[in-house]
Chains A and B, each alone.
Chain A
Amino acid sequence: MSTPPRETIQKQIQQDWANREYIEVITGSIKKITDFLNSFDMSCRSRLATLNEKLTSLERKIDYLEACKCQPGIQTQELKLVDGSKPVVEL
């Protein structure tokens, strides 16, 4: 195998530098996309957690209100007191 001339080899090595730079740029960009996806993930998780917290609190409120609604006693008490007149206000 004959050795190719010096300049050819030098040019090949220079081409190798250029190619590797290209690969580095692509790799770096993929890395950036990865970072973005990771922080996107974190951000979504955080927002969902906040939302979840709000929903939980609302659910508890609904439970409470439902429990209040199921209770008949109060309106009739008010009724009895005001001498048979119809209650106008909803509790």
Chain B
Amino acid sequence: MSVSEKVSLSDALSNVDVLDELTLPDEQPCIEAAPCSILYQANFDTNFEDRNGFVTGIAKYIEEATVHANLNELLEEGNDHAVMLYTWRCCSRAIPQPRSNEQPDRVHIYERTVQVLAPEVDKLLQFMYFQRKAIERFCGEVRRLCHAEKRRDFVSEAYLLTLGKFVNMFAVLDELKNMKSSVKNDYSTYRRAAQFLKVMSDSQSLQESQNLSMFLATQNKIRDTVKDALEKINGYEELLADVVNICVHMFETKMYLTPSEKHMLVKVMGFGLFLMDSEVCNINRLDQKKKIRLDRIDRIFKNLEVVPLFGDMQIAPFNYIKRSKHYDSSKWPLSSSPNPPSPQADLMVHLPQIREEHQNYISELARYSNEVTTTFKEAGSDAENKAVTELCLRGLQLLSSWCSVLTELCSWKLLHPTDHASNPRCPPDAEEYERATRYNYTSEEKFAMIEVIAMIKGLQVLMARMETVFADAARRSIYAELQDFVQLKLREPLRKAIKNKKDLIRSIIVSVRETCGDWARGCEPQQDPALRGKKDAEASFTIKVPRRNVGPSSTQLYMVRTQLEALISDKSGGRRTLRKDLDAGTLTQIETFHRLSFYWGYLLNLSDSLQKCCDLSQLWYREFYLEMTMGRKVNKCTVHHQHNEECNDLITMEKRIQFPIEMSMPWILTDHILRTKEPAMMEYVLYPLDLYNDSAQYALTVFRKQFLYDEVEAEVNLCFDQFVYKLSEQVAQRINADMHRALDAAVAKFEAGDITGVVELEGLISVNRLCHKLLSRYLTLDDFDAILRESDHGVLAPYGRITLHVFWELNFDFLPNYCYNAATDRFVKCRGIQFAAGVTREKPQQYGHALLWGSKQLSLAYSAQYAQYVGFVGAQHLHALVRLLGYQGVAVVVSELLDVARGLLHGTIAQFTRALAAAMPRHCKLPRYDYGSNGVLGYYHAQLTDIVQYPDARTELFHAFRELGNIILFCMLLVKKKSRTYFTLRPSRIFFQDPSLQQGQLSREGDLLTRERLCCGLSLFSVVLRRLRTCLSAPQWPAPPAPHHHAPAHTDDTNEFHRLWSALQFLYCIPVGDTQFTVEELFGEGLHWAGCTIIALLGQQRRFEALDFCYHILRVQRVDGKDESVKGIPLKRMVDRIRRFQVLNSQIFGVLARHLAADEERAGVEHVRCFPPPSAPVHQIN
């Protein structure tokens, strides 16, 4: 749209309306105060600037409006001075002082001091002038109103209230001036420098300087000046009594909106009575004359013992009474006794009511806001608008009353700091401000405060969202009420006044009508019979009152209300009151209108009122306390003991320019939630932080002080860092890290134990996986497998901790110490002699139950369950191993094991083989059956005597073979499990997938499975075998030189491996005594697997079976059935053992043959086995 293009108003307005239709989801839960990047507030208060437009109004009230305008300006100026004093920070402490008169740069220092302080001192001078002017003006007004002629005349409510505001202003300024010692110090610093430099040369400025110095130094100067000046005015006390009475009336009928207005009323009562009580006037006597009602004020002062004076300065209004001349405690039965304590000190008594009010109002508001959003209306009916306006006003009043309760509690607490005696948590050397804030609230009080703050801020958000609706309804409703009243309801009294010739009443009513009448035709209908004092002819005359979306201007509202007040006032300057000339119905109507219209100003300025009703900024400000503590050094006692005045352990800390956040109310409350971790309060955690928003807003718009804003901002930043740090322990961001730690703990636990722990490790990992899965529904977490690999240290290193530990355990514990038993399909730890060095593992790090199984009970239960898997390695362990290690891990472990096997074959086993081969007889025949089995046994025993007596055979040698056998067995079982694992896992995955899965995809998955099985399952063990075979060749392996091709096999030669193994088999077939360990017990079947595998791989299986010594004995014994002891060997028992091992050997050979055959069969035909597993995604344990 180009700039020059013209847009009509209706287009522009509809453009704005269209904005409503854009949906802007923010997905933010409603847990914080109104976030507001742009603040827009229009203020239409003209401060009576337009008063001259209403020339038809009564001149007296237009004049009064002029006075009002001037007084308001003075009040505003007074507020600026109050802000100036309150936010004054000491400058002189930062200014270097010349140490002696000889110091060469002292002139320079003084010059700069004057230069720096001059603008500040000028503010003080202006302040002094202002208070003079204000006192003069105030007393002038009082004098004018107390003049004998005017004494009996009616003074409007607005006028009295403005005078009350002056009284309040004097009280505030006086207290601020008394309190601020830094102002005085700065001024004396300036004065010293100025006198030295002779800046003030003329007598007038010297005099002013003297005056200012006196003004600043004299305590209660303003108060006393006002009092002295007033006492000279005749009858001033009656006017002040009117002021006090109007305050009491407004307080009791809740004619105020914001908390500060409420507190102002109370302060005026106190200070007003103080000003009244003097030599010439005794308030107790006024009470007797019913001019004032002390009993009512007494009750108010008891209910509000302490009110905020300015910022964090508090005042007890009753103290003014106590200081007055004719104080009589019997007149003040409630306030003068300390018991019972004021209800303002106890938040808990207010809480149930606040909760109920909140609940009711919120539900009503929700019902209405639903109505608004579902039904679109241009403008509601009068009745609807009125209802909405009332709803809005009620909301504002509720917010204000809750805010009052909070601020009054804080005020009371600030004036009643705790100490060590009443609160043991408070250390004896706690600072002043700490005692007023940090240690001054109980846990329940803090929770209650948080709840009330949350209610205030929460309702503020809701009301702010509906602000345009509320403001619209309020304007329409107010317009309608005003115009109906002026144009219709005032006709009747006007008619009567004209008829009865009551000119004063007539002129007032006419003036009201002309001041604000918005006539349909532009002016009052002249044909209206009421204007002639006549009755309406039947149905002949009607007035159509227009409707608009605008309220009266501030001046109009003032004029209407004040003029109507004149009609109903019971005071009227000596004449009889006008009330008598009005009938009761009219009086009631006017009174009702007057009462209701009081709140119109607030409603017409809704956004400002809403903000003021929710303003809790003063909970943060602490200039008063800073002023108090800054002059002093902060002392801290380093030793814990009963502290006293003569303590020598005090160290002086640095002087502070701000208090730490631990003493700051917003942070105290936020921290309280985080510390107690009360789940119900957690959702309120952001509301107390919003107090900083209020304070910063106040610093920007009211105090207008950059340094205060900066301090608030700095504190927020600090608090927010703390907040995030503390909160993160409890929510999402830490979950990833916790997940890491939990997996880390699981792996570490595994690392601290033997290989059997692998089952528990898998259990722990699957628990964590489930946890991760459940959490992932709500949180964005890292991929579980990624976390697992990271905890396993498997991202940057080729093998993870699990793989490494598995291998370590296999190498140092499993291979040397476990015995295999085919019957149970388990490896069991050897109970007899340990051949390997004992295994020492790292001490397990202690982890909390939370990181492992969750709780102590669960940990106990699970460790009982997993205890069943300790002590053996079986199918479960191998399954778990395969699942945990995956393709890569299994491959790594197997290949590492192969390396170990090669080491064994080429090292220990080769050595022993060579040594034993040397000990073997050159030839060893198969003796003929004729010798009988006993003869055969005897023969072999004699032949093999060197071997039988070889000392290391039964120990080191067998041990080495056992290790090799375990490797082979482990590889075989692992590979078997692996293929089965994949084979069983994969289909389940297919079937659980989407039923609409295409047939082709299914078959492809199936194909994948088969290939996988072929590659990984069957062929892997063949690969192992093949690799072992390559190791069994010269020169590392002591193979005999290849025989000549055609040379006949020498069956008696003993240089081949199978002959050696036959010798060893002979050795372990010899039965042992009852007390000795058998070979099976010590080494398990690994021994036989090792021997048979080597034989099979060397292709000597047939020769072994044909020529083996033991088999020969067995065969012969089968024939002759002899049983006798040969050289101490029981023949029958030996034969039984041989038979058992023969069966075992042939089983082993069978298995090996199958693998070797499968391998050879596929060799060269299929290349499938050459490929690593197809690109199936890494499997998952469900």
Stretch at the interface among B18-26, B224-232, B698-706: B18-26
Told that A10-B522, A64-B783 touch, could you supply 16 new A-B pairs with CB distance under 8 A? A6-B56, A14-B522, A17-B518, A29-B13, A36-B24, A60-B782, A64-B782, A68-B795, A73-B798, A73-B799, A78-B891, A81-B895, A81-B1020, A82-B1169, A82-B1170, A83-B1170
Stretch at the interface among B35-43, B65-73, B201-209, B439-447: B35-43
Chain A neighbourhood of B888, CB < 8 A: 74, 77-78, 91
- Across the interface, do A13 and B518 meet the contact criterion of CB distance under 8 Å? yes
Q: Which 10 A-B pairs have the closest CB atoms?
A: A73-B798, A43-B24, A10-B523, A21-B550, A85-B1170, A34-B40, A46-B26, A36-B19, A42-B26, A17-B518
Q: Return 30 A-B CB contacts under 8 Å, by A number.
A: A6-B56, A9-B55, A10-B517, A10-B524, A16-B53, A20-B553, A21-B550, A23-B44, A24-B475, A25-B13, A25-B549, A28-B549, A31-B40, A36-B19, A36-B20, A39-B26, A42-B28, A57-B780, A57-B782, A64-B782, A64-B783, A64-B790, A64-B795, A68-B789, A70-B796, A73-B798, A78-B887, A85-B1171, A89-B1173, A90-B1175
Given A9-B55, A38-B36, the answer on whether A77 and B1174 have CB atoms closer than 8 Å is no
**In the assembly, what is the distance between CA of A45 and CA of B1023, in Å?**
60
Chain B neighbourhood of A36, CB < 8 A: 19-20, 22, 24
Stretch at the interface among B348-356, B465-473, B913-921: B465-473
Chain A neighbourhood of B12, CB < 8 A: 29
**In the assembly, what is the distance between CA of A18 and CA of B547, in Å?**
11
Chain B neighbourhood of A42, CB < 8 A: 24, 26, 28, 35
Chain A neighbourhood of B665, CB < 8 A: none
- The interface of chain B, by Cβ under 8 A from chain A, is 12-13, 16-17, 19-20, 22, 24-28, 35-40, 42, 44, 53-56, 467-468, 471-472, 475, 514-519, 522-524, 548-550, 553, 607, 780, 782-783, 786, 789-790, 795-799, 887-888, 891-892, 894-895, 1020, 1023, 1026, 1169-1175
CB B138 to nearest CB in A, in angstroms, measures 32
**In the assembly, what is the distance between CA of A85 and CA of B1173, in Å?**
12
**In the assembly, what is the distance between CA of A61 and CA of B13, in Å?**
50
Given A38-B37, A38-B38, A73-B799, the answer on whether A7 and B523 have CB atoms closer than 8 Å is yes
CB B1107 to nearest CB in A, in angstroms, measures 34
- Across the interface, do B550 and A20 meet the contact criterion of CB distance under 8 Å? yes
**In the assembly, what is the distance between CA of A82 and CA of B890, in Å?**
13
Given A21-B548, A71-B795, the answer on whether A54 and B523 have CB atoms closer than 8 Å is no
Chain B neighbourhood of A39, CB < 8 A: 24, 26
Chain B neighbourhood of A60, CB < 8 A: 782
Chain A neighbourhood of B35, CB < 8 A: 38, 42
**In the assembly, what is the distance between CA of A74 and CA of B374, in Å?**
64
Chain A neighbourhood of B1169, CB < 8 A: 82
- Name the residue on B nearest A8 (C-beta): B523
**In the assembly, what is the distance between CA of A74 and CA of B885, in Å?**
12
**In the assembly, what is the distance between CA of A17 and CA of B56, in Å?**
16
Partner of A24, one of B22, B549, B798, B892: B549
- Across the interface, do A32 and B16 meet the contact criterion of CB distance under 8 Å? yes
- Across the interface, do A12 and B53 meet the contact criterion of CB distance under 8 Å? yes
Q: Interface residues of B: mostly helix, strand, loop or mixed?
A: loop
**In the assembly, what is the distance between CA of A37 and CA of B1178, in Å?**
50
Chain A neighbourhood of B475, CB < 8 A: 24
CB B879 to nearest CB in A, in angstroms, measures 21
CB B357 to nearest CB in A, in angstroms, measures 27
Chain A neighbourhood of B1170, CB < 8 A: 82-83, 85
- Across the interface, do A54 and B780 meet the contact criterion of CB distance under 8 Å? yes
Chain B neighbourhood of A20, CB < 8 A: 44, 550, 553
**In the assembly, what is the distance between CA of A37 and CA of B1020, in Å?**
68
- Across the interface, do B468 and A32 meet the contact criterion of CB distance under 8 Å? yes
**In the assembly, what is the distance between CA of A33 and CA of B19, in Å?**
8
Number of interface residues of A (CB under 8 A): 62
Given A14-B518, A30-B40, A74-B888, the answer on whether A83 and B1023 have CB atoms closer than 8 Å is yes
- Name the residue on A nearest B23 (C-beta): A43
Given A36-B19, A89-B1175, the answer on whether A71 and B798 have CB atoms closer than 8 Å is yes
- Across the interface, do A77 and B798 meet the contact criterion of CB distance under 8 Å? yes
Chain A neighbourhood of B22, CB < 8 A: 36
CB A18 to nearest CB in B, in angstroms, measures 8
Return the CB mask of A33-59 against B: 1 if under 8 Å, else 0.
Answer: 111111111110110001001100100
**In the assembly, what is the distance between CA of A56 and CA of B818, in Å?**
49
CB B457 to nearest CB in A, in angstroms, measures 16
**In the assembly, what is the distance between CA of A80 and CA of B17, in Å?**
73
Given A14-B518, A36-B22, A57-B782, the answer on whether A31 and B891 have CB atoms closer than 8 Å is no
- Across the interface, do A34 and B19 meet the contact criterion of CB distance under 8 Å? no
- Across the interface, do B1171 and A88 meet the contact criterion of CB distance under 8 Å? yes
- Across the interface, do A24 and B550 meet the contact criterion of CB distance under 8 Å? yes
CB A79 to nearest CB in B, in angstroms, measures 9
- Name the residue on A nearest B1019 (C-beta): A82
CB B503 to nearest CB in A, in angstroms, measures 17
CB B470 to nearest CB in A, in angstroms, measures 11
CB B69 to nearest CB in A, in angstroms, measures 18
**In the assembly, what is the distance between CA of A25 and CA of B1170, in Å?**
83
Central interface residue in B523, B549, B796, B894, by most chain A CB within 10 Å: B523
- Across the interface, do B38 and A37 meet the contact criterion of CB distance under 8 Å? yes
CB B219 to nearest CB in A, in angstroms, measures 48
Chain B neighbourhood of A35, CB < 8 A: 467-468
Chain A neighbourhood of B524, CB < 8 A: 6, 10
Chain A neighbourhood of B55, CB < 8 A: 3, 9
CB B1032 to nearest CB in A, in angstroms, measures 17
**In the assembly, what is the distance between CA of A6 and CA of B786, in Å?**
87
CB B480 to nearest CB in A, in angstroms, measures 13
Given A14-B522, A85-B1171, the answer on whether A28 and B891 have CB atoms closer than 8 Å is no
Chain B neighbourhood of A54, CB < 8 A: 780
**In the assembly, what is the distance between CA of A40 and CA of B797, in Å?**
48
**In the assembly, what is the distance between CA of A10 and CA of B519, in Å?**
8
CB A75 to nearest CB in B, in angstroms, measures 9
Chain B neighbourhood of A14, CB < 8 A: 518-519, 522-523
- Name the residue on B nearest A21 (C-beta): B550
- Across the interface, do B13 and A45 meet the contact criterion of CB distance under 8 Å? no
- Across the interface, do B1174 and A89 meet the contact criterion of CB distance under 8 Å? yes
**In the assembly, what is the distance between CA of A28 and CA of B471, in Å?**
9
Chain A neighbourhood of B517, CB < 8 A: 10, 13
CB B389 to nearest CB in A, in angstroms, measures 15
Chain B neighbourhood of A34, CB < 8 A: 38-40
Chain B neighbourhood of A31, CB < 8 A: 40, 42, 467-468, 471, 607
CB A85 to nearest CB in B, in angstroms, measures 4
**In the assembly, what is the distance between CA of A71 and CA of B35, in Å?**
48
**In the assembly, what is the distance between CA of A57 and CA of B786, in Å?**
12
CB B487 to nearest CB in A, in angstroms, measures 12
Chain A neighbourhood of B780, CB < 8 A: 53-54, 57
Partner of A13, one of B26, B516, B782: B516
CB B57 to nearest CB in A, in angstroms, measures 10
- Across the interface, do A61 and B786 meet the contact criterion of CB distance under 8 Å? yes
**In the assembly, what is the distance between CA of A54 and CA of B17, in Å?**
34
- Across the interface, do B522 and A11 meet the contact criterion of CB distance under 8 Å? yes
Chain A neighbourhood of B795, CB < 8 A: 64, 67-68, 71
Chain A neighbourhood of B1175, CB < 8 A: 89-90
- Across the interface, do A11 and B523 meet the contact criterion of CB distance under 8 Å? yes
- Name the residue on B nearest A80 (C-beta): B895
CB B501 to nearest CB in A, in angstroms, measures 21
CB B982 to nearest CB in A, in angstroms, measures 15
Chain A neighbourhood of B1172, CB < 8 A: 78, 82, 87-89
Central interface residue in B20, B39, B42, B783, by most chain A CB within 10 Å: B42
Chain A neighbourhood of B783, CB < 8 A: 61, 64
Partner of A71, one of B27, B54, B797: B797
Central interface residue in B42, B54, B1172, by most chain A CB within 10 Å: B1172
Chain A neighbourhood of B17, CB < 8 A: 32
- Name the residue on B nearest A39 (C-beta): B24
**In the assembly, what is the distance between CA of A46 and CA of B292, in Å?**
59
Partner of B468, one of A11, A13, A28, A46: A28
